[in-house]
Amino acid sequence: QAQLVESGGGLVQPGGSLRLSCAASGSIFSINPMGWYRQAPGKQRELGASITNGGNTNYAESVKGRFTISRDNAKNTVYLQMNSLKPEDTAVYYCYARLYSDYVWNNYWGQGTQVTVSS
């Protein structure tokens, strides 16, 4: 059974930076795409950024120019570098991946990691 394990959340002051990591493990043949969603209190989960196995990226307008998504295909890991963080970036961040595992494609989610931007 494949799974996603996230790390890197925490508390940071406005203007600061954080880097999130998410590693996929298990019997994995392919992953496409990988990405990060976020959910703020009282709001719906929304896409933050995604990346294909070919390196094509997609960002929410609210994070463009501040967040950078990258992946290491050899390690089945996706990263989210978050700079110039704002209080409105406060949310639980969820890693997402569409995996080909055990001969089927399925969507997988991480457990979520809290990011809090506050002075």
List, for residues 43-80, the tens digit of each pLDDT value.
999 999 999 989 999 999 999 999 999 999 999 999 99
**In which band, very low, low, confident or very high, does the pLDDT at 1 lie, cut at 50, 70 and 90?**
confident
Percentage of residues in the chain with pLDDT exceeding 90?
A: 96
- Which residues on neighbouring strands pair with residue 105, listed in sequence order? 100
Pairing, β 113-117 against β 10-12:
parallel
Q: Which residues does 104 contact at the CB level (< 8 Å), separation at least 6? A: none
Indicate the burial class of 92 (C-beta count within 10 angstroms; 0-12, 13-18, 19 or more).
middle
8 Å CB contact between 109 and 16: no
- Among candidate residues 43, 48, 25, the one with its CA nearest the CA of residue 94: 48
